[in-house]
């Protein structure tokens, strides 16, 4: 089997349509079909089920897709490295929103001062999407606050984080030093979207304490949450790091919930089959050694 076979196979998987795959590769549909058939004959498995003129990946197809993506990714890395040995190395980092806003800028700047030969490219999204980028070789390393689910992803803890309940200056909680957990059940929560590590931590802690809750606003960034909370549209549980300026200025108030702690661990993730370069290892070690207050 050749790399071309795997390129064609991945294109078919991405489009789930032979014609669309052929168009994206500037090939004929018959050539694409032949390449897939050759793969199936070579491995003696069915890679796709063809039902009602639609394609569906089989279990074997799913497995081969994972290998094929990494083979093509490795080949691309080889080509890039061999053709550009004199150029600076590039490290692609995926960061979940809280890490990307509150932690990564300082880490990246400090690392690049020590390693000026390394260029860092960053994609910011929620934990679920960063995990998908890792699985599809869209990034080399991820820094996330939530839990990953794939067995192909290796996780390494690197920093503790505390979430806090925040409210606006005019909210009734703002005049209290501590509230009972059941009082949370009467509040309107402004929360992150599904797939966010912040939301998952919040949900898990609430469930563990047998507390119900209702969301009136769901958004995909901390800035919107802080603005909405400051306008007394609801309360939220967010990373203390991401709200430290608003807390210090008095725009938001932190409210202690009796016997309830929202805590989590930031993690470095990468694909188990990922070839980690020297700079990647150095960056992961740098993150793991960073002070807790970074």
pLDDT at 293: 59
> What is the average pLDDT score of the chain?
91
Find, among 151, 118, 123, the residue nearest to 135 by Cα.
151
d(CA 191, CA 214) in angstroms, rounded, equals 10
Round the CA-based radius of gyration of the chain to a whole number and report it: 23
Element (H, E) at 113: helix 104-114
Give 60-103 pLDDT, tens digit per residue.
999 999 999 999 999 988 887 777 655 567 899 999 999 999 89
**Chain centroid to CA 1:** 33
pLDDT at 177: 81
pLDDT at 84: 63
Q: What are the chain's domains?
A: 1-84 (1.10.10.10), 88-157+263-287 (3.40.190.10), 161-262 (3.40.190.10)
Place of tokens 């980690």: 276
Give 130-181 pLDDT, tens digit per residue.
999 999 999 999 999 989 999 999 999 999 999 999 999 999 998 888 999 9
Mean of pLDDT values over 242-250 = 93
Confidence category of residue 248, pLDDT binned at 50, 70, 90? very high
- Residue 122: beta bridge partners? 93
């Amino acid at each position: 089997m050749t790399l071309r076979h795997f390129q064609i196979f991945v294109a078919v998987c991405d489009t789930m349509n032979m014609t669309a795959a052929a168009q994206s590769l500037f090939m004929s549909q018959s050539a694409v079909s032949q390449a897939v058939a050759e793969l199936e004959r070579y491995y003696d498995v069915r890679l796709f089920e063809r039902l009602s003129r639609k394609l569906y990946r089989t279990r074997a197809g799913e497995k081969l897709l994972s290998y094929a993506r990494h083979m093509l990714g490795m080949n691309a890395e080889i080509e890039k490295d061999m053709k550009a040995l004199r150029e600076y190395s590039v490290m692609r980092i995926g960061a979940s929103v809280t890490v990307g806003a509150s932690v990564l800028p300082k880490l990246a700047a400090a690392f690049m001062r020590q390693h000026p030969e390394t260029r860092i490219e960053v994609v910011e999204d929620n934990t679920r999407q960063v995990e998908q980028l890792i699985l599809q070789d869209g990034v080399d390393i991820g820094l996330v606050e939530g839990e990953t689910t794939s067995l192909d992803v290796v996780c390494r803890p690197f920093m503790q984080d505390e979430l806090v309940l925040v409210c606006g200056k005019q909210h009734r909680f703002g005049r209290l030093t501590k509230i009972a957990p059941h009082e949370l059940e009467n509040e309107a929560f402004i929360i992150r979207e599904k797939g966010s590590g912040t939301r998952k931590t919040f949900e898990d802690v609430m469930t563990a304490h047998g507390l119900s809750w209702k969301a009136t606003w769901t958004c995909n960034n901390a800035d919107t949450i802080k603005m909405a909370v400051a306008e007394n549209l609801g309360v939220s549980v967010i990373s203390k790091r991401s709200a430290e300026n608003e807390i210090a200025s008095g725009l938001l108030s932190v409210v202690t919930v009796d016997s309830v702690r929202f805590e989590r661990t930031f993690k470095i993730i990468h694909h188990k089959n990922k070839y980690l370069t020297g700079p990647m290892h150095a960056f992961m070690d740098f993150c793991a050694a960073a002070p807790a207050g970074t």
